[in-house]
Amino acid sequence: MAVAIILILVAVASVLFHIFSPWWWTPLASNWRYIDDTITLTFWITGAVFFAVVAFMAYCVLRFRHTEGRRAVYNPENKKLEWWLSVGTAIGVAAMLAPGLIVWHQFVTVPAGATEVEVMGQQWQWSYRLPGKDGRLGTSDARNVSAENPMGLNPDDPAGQDDVVIQNDDLHLPLGKPVKVLLRSIDVLHDFYVPEFRAKMDMIPGSVTYYWFTPTRTGTFEVLCAELCGAAHAQMRSKVVVEEEKDYHAWLEKQRTFAELSGQRDVAKATYTRESE
Amino acid sequence: MVDVPFDTVAGVPPAEVGEVELYHPRSWWTRYVFSQDAKVIAIQYSITAMSIGMVALVLSWLMRLQLGFPGTFSFIDPNQYLQFITMHGMIMVIYLLTALFLGGFGNYLIPLMVGARDMVFPYVNMLSYWIYLLAVVVLASTFFVPGGPTGAGWTLYPPQAILSGTPGQDWGIVLMLASLILFIIGFTMGGLNYVVTVLQARTRGMTLMRLPLTVWGIFTATVMALLAFPALFVASVMLLLDRLLGTSFFMPTLVEMGTLTKYGGGSPILFQHLFWFFGHPEVYIVALPAFGIISDLISVHARKNIFGYRMMVWAIVGIGALSFVVWAHHMYVSGMHPYFGFFFATTTLIIAIPTAIKVYNWVLTLWRGDIHLTIPMLFALAFIVTFVNGGLTGLFLGNVVVDVPLSDTMFVVAHFHMVMGIAPIMAVFGGIYHWYPKVTGRMLNEALGRFHFWVSFLGAYAIFFPMHYLGLLGMPRRYHDIGETAFVPASAHDLNAFMSVAALIVGFAQLVFLFNLIWSLFKGREAGGNPWGAASLEWQTPETPPGHGNWGKELPIVYRWAYDYSVPGAAGDFVPQNEPPAGVLAQGAHP
């Protein structure tokens, strides 16, 4: 009796916890509502199965508990029942998999008009790069990394000269414009993770990964690293600011290009050299 | 087979085994220490695994103290936290669960359940244990070397695992990889034994389709391990070479703390494929023995034949095979080609079907049974609850697009603890309460056992069920302290503190269990040869605990499957496997 009641309580408490949990996903700030919907659907199907299995067990424990003189029913198999259960399970699985794969197809198909934005991870900070007036990002290589060129951009690539480089600062994005985030690392694995955007992807030294999304809500969102990257993994933070187009352009105007930053350093270097002579 | 339980072996002459076939210990040392008897080796494996498991338990306490009360315990710094999670994970998955299920339960039960005198290669079996012990010692030694154990996470992903930004980069990672290599060598020796013993040393009448499901689970898991561990072996060797000799199997051109390294041309993703080619089957290497054990516990304690035996066997084999084509579901956000997602999500969700069949058949075995709520039965019920819970959240993480927001969050931690931590450990406990009387001749204390059960089951559920919701919230895993984060409400910290308190209590209950194991050895109630009235062969030995050679002079002859409970027309409520059918002259020495 007690065992059956506790089993039922476990099932009921799990459902109630789910309904009343104050811990729930963050308000969505991207186009990936379909991902949230797929999770909700999965919760319904799996929740029903969990409750049914545990409740059936509780019923069995209550109804078929040993008493004097009880004898179990000898029943090696029941092909028909096993067959129906398998088919039912397959249908339930398909009901979750099919929408999942459809949404995944959207997730991996980048719209043609998406703006490229580069995110670079290194132990333990984030840097960002936006294409300049030419709309193209210049090439980069870990071999170019130096104190003057921390993102390792190719100094000889004309396409990279007008790239906007953002270091130790927030990334700004315009509202409602699809973004293809190009992800890169110069040391270990990192993962660019903004919970409100739902999307995430590892960054791998030696290759460029990506995902895309469209910001749908203005605000400031916290960036975390979601792939263990060493001692200060938990402190690797930054922010993404999503704002209206005109605010975005005002912000963009103030940013420096790679050429400006390198030029500035050349000037600084020259000044320093002259003074020390 | 099921419908034809006997008659094929009628009239087979008794099986006497000549003295030459068994190695006989000549001294105390060869009897209890360098023993070649699978039963002694099983106990050695189990004690070693549980000892290193206690280290993992203490590490989990330290982790929970840090997560529940960040900043309170000054003796835990971020580096140590990473070292704790790494060692906890590695110990639990490989050195505890794999070793205990295969080396412990496998060694004890396979020869007894198939009606053999011992494993087929007793000397290799002994070596297997001693190499395993060496692997454990090497692993434990990393706590005492300069820099401490590695903090790379149990997945040991390069480049981070062997670079200086990760704790334990000097000695920790090197010894960890060396220990894994040793473990795999030792395991292979044991594993070949288990497989060959099941295939070659079954007693007469013990057809494959009469094997208890415990043997099917352990056998299939061992075959899988023999195929999967080599992937980890090569990955470990290559990573060791990258670390020690500066090769670049997994290392592209990269910068270490602002300085360009000499590495170049390698692929970090390659390591992940190798690791998970091992790592996913590993989940089932732990789960399949648990499936088998739970099937047997439910059948014995519900006094009912396991429902759908043939389907259960095929489900075990099917799951084992499928589990080799799903590994990359651990890598949906790793940056591998996105189109892999379609394939691996499909294969992963297909595995849910044979797995669900197993669950249905367990609960259908309970249905119209004669359920004795013994401690093994309670653990079996808890196994089903936690396994179903953890299995269903696997449908979230396996469905590629749903995995994207949830991967690398606490949802994953909650999922895998429920499905391959709590659930298999419930099976381990159920198995220990069930077979302890055979191993020692005494019953474990009932009151302590019930206390241990309720605290462990409800406590573990209270830790890991709410944890999913921190993951939904977006809280990442492997953070020693989430700190001030805009989207994390204060209540999440309270929940963390609650889970930590629950973890301390559950950990305490395990000490009660250890006390029970030792106390009952001396003071437990005498069990007799077959206290549960079980039909499988290990309960029919002439002596309890079984003597050297298991069966006295003659091997048993098997006439039926292992699940003849409550057979209509039979006198008792079970018929032992070696009980000859009416009209057939008893051939073997029946106790």
**pLDDT at residue B569, as a whole number:** 87
Note whether A26 and A59 are same-domain residues. yes
Q: What is the CA angle B291-B177-B150, rounded to 5? A: 95
Q: State residue A135's pLDDT score.
A: 87
CA B515 to chain centroid, in Å, comes to 22
Distances (CA, A) of B285 to A132, B115, B168: 53, 24, 29
- CB spacing of A85 vs B366 below 8 angstroms: no
User: Chain B contacts of A193, Cβ < 8 Å?
Assistant: 408, 476
Q: Do B302 and A143 touch (CB under 8 A)?
A: no
- Is A121 found in the same domain as A97? no
The partner residue sitting opposite A77, judged by closest CB among B2, B389, B482, is B2
* pLDDT tens column, A103-159: 999 999 999 999 999 999 999 999 999 998 888 999 999 999 988 899 999 999 989
Question: Is residue A55 in a domain?
Answer: yes
Q: Which of A110, A102, A143, A130 is nearest to A209 (CA)?
A: A110
Q: Which residues of A touch B458 (CB under 8 A)?
A: 6, 10
Residues 250-269 of A with CB under 8 A from B: none
φ, ψ of residue B537 to 5 degrees: the values are -65, -35
ipTM of this predicted structure: 0.93
Tell me: do A171 and A200 sit in the same domain.
yes
Total number of domains constituting chain A: 2
Q: Is A218 within the bounds of a domain?
A: yes
Please list the alpha-helical segments (H only) found in A64-206.
79-108, 158-161
Residue B5 pLDDT level (bands cut at 50, 70, 90):
very low
Task: Kindly report the nearest CA distance between residue B478 and chain A, in angstroms.
Answer: 7
CA atoms within 13 A on the CB side of A245: 3
- According to the model, what pLDDT value does residue A264 have? 60
The amino acid present at B178, given as its one-letter code, is: A
Predicted confidence at residue B2, as pLDDT, reads 44
Q: What is the DSSP string of B4-61?
A: --S-TTTTPPPEE--GGGS----SHIIIIIS---HHHHHHHHHHHHHHHHHHHHHHHH
Q: Give the span between the Cα atoms of B54 and B507, in whole angstroms.
A: 9
* DSSP-derived pairing of the beta strands B15-16 and A238-243: unpaired
Q: What is the domain extent for residue A236?
A: 115-273
SS percent in chain B: helix, strand, coil, step 5: 65, 5, 35
Please state, in angstroms and rounded to a whole number, the distance separating the CA atoms of residues A221 and A6.
42
Residue A186 shares a structural domain with residue A247: yes
Please tell me whether residues A61 and A155 are part of one structural domain.
no
In a domain, A70, yes or no: no
A71 lies in some domain: no
Taking only the tens place, the pLDDT of each residue in B170-222 is 999 999 999 999 999 999 999 999 999 999 999 999 999 999 999 999 999 99
Same domain, yes or no: A188 and A61: no
Average confidence score pLDDT of chain B: 93
Domain shared by A100 and A210, yes or no: no
Rounded Cα–Cα distance for residues B320 and B399 (Å): 20
- Whether residues A185 and A95 share a domain: the answer is no
Closest residue, chain A, to B311 (C-alpha): A82
- What residues of chain B lie within 8 A of the CB of A209, using their CB? 335
A24-67 tens-digit pLDDT: 999 999 999 999 999 999 999 999 999 999 999 999 999 999 99
Residue B15 scores a pLDDT above 60: no
For an interface test with B, which of A12, A189, A225, A235 has the most B Cβ atoms less than 10 Å from its Cβ? A189
Residues A181 and A245 in one domain: yes
Task: Please report whether residue A72 resides in a domain.
Answer: no
Residue A193 touches partner B, C-beta closer than 8 Å: yes
Whether the pTM exceeds 0.80: the reply is yes
Residues A97, A179: one domain?
no
Q: What CATH class has B31-252+262-555?
A: mainly alpha
Please state the separation of Cα A71 from the chain's center in Å: 55
Sequence ranges of the domains in chain B? 31-252+262-555
Helix pair angle (B340-366, A33-63), 10° resolution: 20
Q: Do both A185 and A55 map to the same domain? A: no
Shared domain for A259 and A152, answered yes or no, is yes
Q: Which residues contact B63 (CB under 8 A, 6 or more apart)?
A: B81, B84, B85, B88
* A102 domain residue, yes or no: yes
Residue B24 has pLDDT above 80, yes or no: no
Q: Which one of A66, A85, A206 has the shortest CB-CB distance to B370?
A: A66
pLDDT (mean) for A189-208: 95
Give the tens place of pLDDT for each residue, B243-262: 999 999 999 999 998 899 99
